């Protein structure tokens, strides 16, 4: 387990935990077979299980009423113990595996109440920046001419990311560029947990038409004084992450694995689309298929 936690040390609780190691179990089974009250009615069993387990951070109650070990008890850290590295990159274009390069990168650490820019630098991409990109980012060729190359900032970037959960708004884009730059200059591959605030917002934020950074910033009244600059966007994404973590906890998330499960679960729209794509069941008055 990561960090300190308070939980009962009773032999009874440990026996229950031993059963839950095999998988989720209903209160009735725990009460009858483990706690030793074989004739107890369901309502009594539910109350006993809740009294014994609800305060134990290693255990949670599932939506169907069964009790289960949380992922943290099997190695996934509690959210309060996680340090998040919120990353934003500005680039010359969209193709991380092609000719495009990073022109600016910032990393903001979020850990509990801490929110701090730990790295922020322009980057010399070694190529001209397209005019259309300059119009959006206001990062010019002159600004990056004497900036360090990515190879020169690779070490502090790696230090800022080490031991933390990679987070970005549209994480595939930022992750792809950081990975591509590290592969080119150091022949290194990033590996570890990463989260996308776009995907989390789609599953946690109700009543917002778009999960773009501008739309979510308006929704949560987040100020961004430097839009389309790495530090400005990383800071507002860090603020957004804090709001999303609060919503995730209200949704029942306690560990990093819980948060990842929320990020990857199907949205209602995706479920409807999937159902629409399935073949319709045969009507009762349909003619039976011919058999040969």
pLDDT in tens, 8-54: 445 677 777 777 777 788 888 888 888 888 888 999 989 888 888 87
Same domain as 205, residue 177: yes
In this structure, is residue 131 part of a structural domain?
Answer: yes
> What residues contact 228, with CB distance under 8 A and at least 6 apart?
90, 136, 137, 138
Q: CA 231: distance to chain centroid?
A: 20
φ, ψ dihedrals at 54, nearest 5°: -65, -30
Same domain as 56, residue 167: no
In this structure, is residue 286 part of a structural domain?
Answer: no
Same domain as 106, residue 48: no
Give the model's pLDDT for residue 5.
Answer: 32
Same domain as 51, residue 118: no
Tokens of 201: 């917002």
Same domain as 57, residue 112: no
CB count within 10 Å of CB 59 equals: 20
Helix ranges (H only) for the chain are 11-20, 27-29, 42-53, 131-137, 141-144, 150-161, 171-186, 197-204, 213-219, 230-250, 256-264, 268-277
Q: Sorting pLDDT into bands at 50, 70 and 90, what band is 189?
A: confident
Same domain as 258, residue 197: yes
CB count within 10 Å of CB 38 equals: 8
Between 254 and 54, the more confident residue is 254
In this structure, is residue 292 part of a structural domain?
Answer: no
In this structure, is residue 170 part of a structural domain?
Answer: yes
Cα(1)–Cα(275) distance, integer angstroms: 40
Which secondary-structure segment (H or E) carries 195? Answer: strand 194-196
**DSSP for residue 32:** I
In this structure, is residue 32 part of a structural domain?
Answer: yes
Question: Would the pTM count as exceeding 0.85?
Answer: no
The answer to whether the Cα torsion of 245, 248, 254, 256 is positive or negative is negative
In this structure, is residue 114 part of a structural domain?
Answer: yes
Same domain as 56, residue 144: no
CB count within 10 Å of CB 201 equals: 25
Same domain as 62, residue 83: no
CB count within 10 Å of CB 106 equals: 26
Q: Could you list the residue range(s) of the whole structural domain that residue 222 is in?
A: 79-264
Write b or e for each residue in 89-100: b if 16 or more Cβ atoms lie within 10 A of its Cβ, otherwise e: bbbbeeebeeeb
Mean pLDDT value across the chain = 85
Structurally, how many domains does the chain consist of?
Answer: 2
Between 17 and 109, the more confident residue is 109
In this structure, is residue 5 part of a structural domain?
Answer: no
Give the model's pLDDT for residue 283.
Answer: 45
In this structure, is residue 111 part of a structural domain?
Answer: yes
Which tens digits make up the pLDDT trace of 196-213? Answer: 999 999 999 999 989 999
φ, ψ dihedrals at 139, nearest 5°: -95, 115
Cα(222)–Cα(220) distance, integer angstroms: 6
Q: Which residue has the tokens 């073949």?
A: 279
Same domain as 128, residue 52: no
Cα(19)–Cα(165) distance, integer angstroms: 32
Q: Which residue has the tokens 């507002």?
A: 236
């Amino acid at each position: 387990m990561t960090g300190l936690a308070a939980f009962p040390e009773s032999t009874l609780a440990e026996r229950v935990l031993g059963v839950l190691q095999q998988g989720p179990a209903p209160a009735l089974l725990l009460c009858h077979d483990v706690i030793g009250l074989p004739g107890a009615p369901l309502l009594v069993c539910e109350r006993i299980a809740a009294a014994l387990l609800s305060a134990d951070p290693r255990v949670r109650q599932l939506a169907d009423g069964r009790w289960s070990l949380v992922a943290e008890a099997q190695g996934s850290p509690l959210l309060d113990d996680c340090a998040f590295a919120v990353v934003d990159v500005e680039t010359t274009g969209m193709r991380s595996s092609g000719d495009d390069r990073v022109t600016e990168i910032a990393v903001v650490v979020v850990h509990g109440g801490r929110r701090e820019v730990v790295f922020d630098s322009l980057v010399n991409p070694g190529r001209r920046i397209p005019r259309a990109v300059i119009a959006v980012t206001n990062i010019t060729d002159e600004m990056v001419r004497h900036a360090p190359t990515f190879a020169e900032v690779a070490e502090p970037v790696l230090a800022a990311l080490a031991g933390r959960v990679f987070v970005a708004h549209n994480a595939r884009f930022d992750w792809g560029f950081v990975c591509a730059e590290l592969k080119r200059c150091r022949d290194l591959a990033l590996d570890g947990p990463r989260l996308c605030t776009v995907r989390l917002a789609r599953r946690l934020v109700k009543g917002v038409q778009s999960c773009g950074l501008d739309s979510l910033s308006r929704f949560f009244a987040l100020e961004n004084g430097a839009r389309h600059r790495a530090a400005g966007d990383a800071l507002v994404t860090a603020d957004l992450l804090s709001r999303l973590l609060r919503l995730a906890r209200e949704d029942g998330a306690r560990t990093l694995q819980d948060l990842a499960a929320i990020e990857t679960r199907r949205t209602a729209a995706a479920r409807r689309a999937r159902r629409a794509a399935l073949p319709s069941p045969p009507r009762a008055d349909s003619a039976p298929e011919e058999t040969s």
